[in-house]
Structure 1
Amino acid sequence: MTEKNQAKWDAGRFFKTLSYFGIIPFLGNIRWLQKLLTGGKNTVSTPETPGVILVAGATGGVGKRVVRKLQQRGYQVRSLVRDARRGREILGDRVDLVEADITLPETLSDRLLKDVKAVISCIGTRVQPVEGDTPTREKYYQGIKFYLPEVVDTPEMVEYHGIQNLLDATRSQLSRFGNPDEKIIFDFRKPTQDLKETWGALDDIVMGGASESTVRLVDETAFFSGYVSTANSGGFASVRTRNFEPPLDLSDYEGIDLRVKGDGKRYKFILRTDPKWDSVSYCYSFDTVPNIWFTVRIPFSEFIPVFRAKTLQDAGPLDSSQIRSVQIMLSKFEYDGELNQNFKPGVFQLQIESMKAYGGQKLPRFVHVSSAGVTRPGRPGLNLEEEPPAVRMNDQLGGILTWKLRGEEAIRSSGIPYTIVRPCALTEEPGTQRLTFERGDTIKGKVNREDIAELCVQALDIPAACNVTFEVKEGDSGHPPGDWTGLFSDLQRDRELVS
């Protein structure tokens, strides 16, 4: 039985489609009509991966600077503090504070861990001069003069067990958030109002056809379904996003993973880099298996440039840094007049669980501030007289460096992508100094807390910072301020994690 060649054209649905996207095909923008009919908008914000940066030890000399720098960059920040009242005094009223103690795992609550995508750990055993008035303490903390120190906490509990507790608490949350080498574009398992306002049906009604589709958020999926008809020379149904503003930049990735369950039909996945309505599209066709979930992996290199179902030989490759919109289509045509061999008019349905970019470089998820000198206590041939006070007095300070090293080892064996920073003597001097990174735990010197805080924040977005442990000091022979890529490019990844 063949479908009728003619059907009544639905003018109301035609204008409803135009009003949603704010464009008339081939004639240009009619934003005024879109506003008149719906009061809405014809662009949407670029999909962003949500998430919170958890700062542990947020009231310390480095931690409070990390919080401030993250806020200045627009990150969502949560501060883990042992004393909420003191935390408010130091960090202010605009900071999301959670009172907890890493030495007591039962205090690391769901409220603390909710939506955490990365951790910056600035925790450390509290060390102070044995005695002295306020000026003495200020000189001590500024690194101006050495005074006999004492530990306030138990280093084993803070530097080792505390770090282990923090790793155990955050590991599953960081895993749920997604692999660090992937970027979630749409996750329909977590529906939001923004998702509902981003996608709309775009069927052959705009060409005079009679197909009709919808997209609904049901059962933790985007449910694309409807009826595709060849009447009136039509034959396609699709869903498309409004244009992203700014465009979606996926240039650090290799392609798209699409998690779907279909009906045995052949669909097209379409990306556009031009904000115009009727522009060149980049297409990839994929077949589905009835009622079976599977992942369609689409390398960017396999997208075909197409204009109105005709391939373009002289068009450039897809520019993955300028993704303006996404579309999924069921069409009777393949390309250049060829028919879709798996096409049949009638009812169809495709469920989409998620859409993400794959193949990106891993980024650190756990940035930890440790200390230079952690491997030196007990090292054969070491001249203690030439070593910093923390090395000389390791035993008197409860084995503080020994336990810091144990905490580092817990991080390196956790499976969480990490950066471990070992600063030399910390000072309150001005930031933006020349810095030197080294491995092997042999360098001595000083570095200001401002630069260490900036280093922690920068490491979150630098692939070369992933799975490295290094010492850092300031000095005239170091890299110029701001050359973070150059600093990290000189480092090798920790040996035990190199495949």
Structure 2
Amino acid sequence: MVQTRPDGDCPDSHGPINLVSRNGVVCPFCFTLPDCSGGRGESISTHRCFYSKLFFVDYRSMSRFRGLWQASVNATKRALTWNLEDLVPPNEKYIFNFSSAEELKRWHLYSDSEYGGLSSASLEIQNPVNGSSCTGNLSLDINESSRWNISRSGFCGMRSKKFDGFIDLDAYDTIALKLKGDGRCYISTIYTENWVNSPGQEEDNSWQAFVFVPKDNWYIAKIPLARYLPTWRGNVIDAQLEMNPARIVGLSLSVNAEGGFPGAKSGPGDFHIEVDWIKALRSQT
């Protein structure tokens, strides 16, 4: 019969002991404390009594098992303490909030001047801080000495730099932009991972929708994702394609001198648009 030892003196006359040793481990067979003060210098991983040898107990394996078990318990606790928001995304989500110069560093300008056109643009944070301001001039002229053989010009835009990975908007169905403009028609573009274009093409897939921006007053434009059409270099792709909102790699807002909604301001000349924020919305629950 195995003799259990309650709190008291160490059987080897090493002084008072408890059933919980310094490292919290007691031999489950002989109930001795291998690392008691002044003891034999054993640890629970090297301790071998008659019973542990009889049952082939490997305390190192027991320690590893205890570590795995504790990791499983911790994971279960985290799962039980999840917020509801982790399971059900909020009805709206900020994608960009233009409230600082740091946010503006995540964007860059582009225009036809990169290909021989003569349009120009600038991008800055408003002072006092109230969103970003993109201003410039649209020109239909082409630099005759350009090495690019372009047939049209008159466009400028601001595009976000590529995200570190993807933005997942699969839980949302609408893009919202808080804008103040000049009465022109602008183009909202969503860039997704390339799976529509031919293999080997480095360009992201682009999906575009027109947005009219009234003059001088702040306006919240809401564009359903279903309204975005697949395009390639500004031309609509005549095919039934579906955007993958879980693999978004960037956004842009641009303006063309020609085209857009009937009645909107168009043609060459100055343009001005301010952007306060861009959000994703879930209108259907």
TM-score range, shorter chain: 0.5 to 0.7
- Which residue number corresponds to residue 278 of structure 2? 355
1:342 aligns with 2:251: no
1:227–1:348: 8 Å Cα contact kept in structure 2?
Answer: yes
Q: Do the aligned residues in 1 keep the contact of 2:122 with 2:134 (CA within 8 Å)?
A: yes
Deviation at 1:250, TM superposition (A): 0.3
- Runs of 4 or more, structure 1, over 6 Å off, are none
Count of aligned pairs: 190
CA-CA distance at 1:196 after TM superposition: 2.6
The structure-2 alpha-carbon separation of the partners of 1:308 and 1:356, relative to structure 1 and needing over 3 Å to count, comes to: same
1:273 aligned partner, one-letter code: T
DSSP-derived class of the 1:183 partner: strand
C-alpha displacement of 1:246: 1.0
The residue matched to 2:246 in structure 1 has which SS?
Answer: coil
1:309 touches 1:334 (CA, 8 Å); kept in 2? Answer: no
Structure 1 equivalent of residue 156 of structure 2: 237
Question: 1:201 & 1:349 partners in 2: Cα distance?
Answer: 14
Show the counterpart of 1:445.
none
Cα separation, 2, equivalents of 1:340 and 1:309:
21
Structure 1 pair 290/203, CA: closer, same or farther in 2 (3 Å)? same
Distance in 1 (CA, whole Å) between partners of 2:252 and 2:266 is 18
Task: Write the mapping of 1:41-440 to structure 2, written as runs, cut at 5 A.
Answer: 69=78, 180-188=90-98, 190-191=99-100, 193=102, 195-218=103-126, 219-232=129-142, 233-274=152-193, 278-334=203-259, 342-359=265-282
1:453-464 equivalent positions in 2, closer than 5 A? none
What percentage of residue pairs aligned between the two structures are identical? 22
Letter in 2 for 1:226: G
SS in structure 2 of the partner of residue 231 of structure 1: coil
Deviations 1:30-88 (A, max 9, x none): xxxxxxxxxxxxxxxxxxxxxxxxxxxxxxxxxxx79x849xx9x9xxxxxxxxxxxxx
CA contact (8 A) 2:259 2:266 kept: no
Shift of 1:347: 1.4
Is the Cα–Cα contact under 8 Å of residues 250 and 357 in structure 1 kept in the other structure?
yes
Residue pair 2:168, 2:248 contacting (<8 A) in 1 also: yes
Which runs of 5 or more residues in structure 1 are unaligned?
1-64, 76-117, 119-178, 363-499
8 Å contact 1:255–1:357 — kept in the other structure? yes
Aligned residue type for 2:244:
D
**Amino acid of the residue matched to residue 93 of structure 2?**
K
Give the Cα separation in 2 of the matches to 1:237 and 1:345.
Answer: 11
CA contact (8 A) 1:181 1:361 kept: no
**Contact 2:138–2:154 under 8 Å retained in 1:** yes
Task: Confirm or deny: 8 A CA contact 2:212 2:264 kept in the other structure.
Answer: no
Contact 2:120–2:137 (8 Å) recurs in 1: yes
Alpha-carbon contact 2:101-2:125 (below 8 Å) kept:
no
CA contact (8 A) 1:252 1:360 kept: no
AA partner of residue 97 (structure 2): D
The answer as to whether partners of 1:183 and 1:358 remain within 8 angstroms in 2 is: yes
**Equivalent position amino acid for 1:354 in 2:** W
CA–CA distance in 1 between the matches of 2:123 and 2:105?
11
Report how far residue 280 of structure 1 moved: 3.6
Q: 1:289 deviation in Å?
A: 1.3
CA 1:340/1:237 → structure 2, altered by over 3 Å: closer, same or farther? Answer: farther
Contact 2:258 2:267 in 1 (8 A): no
Give, as a single letter, the amino acid of the residue that structure 1 aligns with 2:215. P
| Distance in 2 (alpha carbons) for counterparts of 1:306 and 1:339 | 21
Cα distance in 1 for partners of 2:253, 2:166 equals: 18
Quote the RMSD (CA, aligned, Å): 3.2
Q: Closer, same or farther in 2 for the Cα pair 1:295/1:222, shift >3 Å?
A: same
AA matched with 2:107? W
Q: 1:345 to 1:333 in 2, by over 3 A?
A: closer
Alpha carbons 1:202, 1:239 under 8 Å: kept: yes
Deviation (angstroms), 1:266: 0.7
**What is the CA–CA distance in structure 2 between the aligned matches of 1:246 and 1:202, rounded to whole Å?**
22
- Report the CA distance between 1:361 and its aligned residue: 7.4
Aligned to 1:321, the other structure's residue is in SS state helix
Give structure 2 stretches of 5+ with no counterpart.
Answer: 1-73, 143-151, 195-200
Question: d(CA) in 2 for partners of 1:325 and 1:182?
Answer: 18
Contact 1:252 1:361 in 2 (8 A): no
Asked if the contact 2:137–2:270 (Cα under 8 Å) also holds between the matched residues in 1, the reply is yes
SS at match of 2:216: coil
CA–CA separation in structure 1 for the residues paired with 2:274 and 2:225: 22
Distance 1:229 1:305 in 2: 26
Structure (1 or 2) with the greater helix fraction: 1
Mapped contact 1:266–1:340 kept (Cα < 8 A): no
Partners in 2 of 1:220 and 1:208 — Cα distance?
A: 33
Alignment partner, residue 63 of structure 2: none
Map Cα deviations across residues 114-166 of structure 1 (whole Å, 9 max, x no partner). Answer: xxxx8xxxxxxxxxxxxxxxxxxxxxxxxxxxxxxxxxxxxxxxxxxxxxxxx
State the distance in 2 between where 1:326 and 1:284 align. Answer: 12
